[in-house]
């Protein structure tokens, strides 16, 4: 059976990383809804096996699925951080699980 996460709901963010000169990569990261602006999520460059310079040279960018861009990518370091705090109810309403 799947292990349930304790505490508050966790919003899962599916990121499509479009990196020119490479195929599109998909990565899945979980972000607690209470994560504050500026909170570190992951280092995309490291996860893709690239340096920050390579990521920047390939003009990596995040493509949000909705209207708001909740995450921000630093092209020079590869760091992915929370740009805007997420509200589970706003994102998913009463849908369970919230993805």
Q: Tell me whether residue 1 is exposed, middle or buried, using C-beta atoms within 10 angstroms of its C-beta: 0 to 12, 13 to 18, 19 or more.
A: exposed
DSSP code for 76: T
Q: Is the pLDDT of residue 56 over 80?
A: yes
What's the CA gap between 91 and 63, in Å, rounded?
16
* Three-state DSSP state, 90: helix
pLDDT band per the 50, 70, 90 thresholds, residue 77: very high
What's the CA gap between 73 and 82, in Å, rounded?
9
Report pLDDT digits (tens) over 2-50. 444 444 444 444 444 444 455 566 677 888 888 899 999 999 888 888 8
What's the CA gap between 62 and 91, in Å, rounded?
18
pLDDT band per the 50, 70, 90 thresholds, residue 64: confident
What's the CA gap between 84 and 66, in Å, rounded?
13
């Amino acid at each position: 059976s799947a292990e349930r996460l304790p505490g508050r709901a966790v919003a899962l963010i599916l990121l499509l990383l479009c990196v020119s000169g490479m195929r599109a990569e998909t990565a899945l990261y979980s972000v607690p809804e209470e994560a504050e602006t500026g909170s570190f999520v992951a280092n995309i460059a490291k996860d893709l096996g690239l340096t920050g310079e390579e990521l920047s040279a390939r003009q990596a960018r995040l493509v949000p699925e909705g209207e708001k861009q909740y995450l921000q990518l630093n092209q020079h370091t590869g760091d992915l951080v929370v740009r805007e705090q997420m509200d589970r109810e706003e994102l998913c309403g009463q849908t369970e699980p919230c993805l």
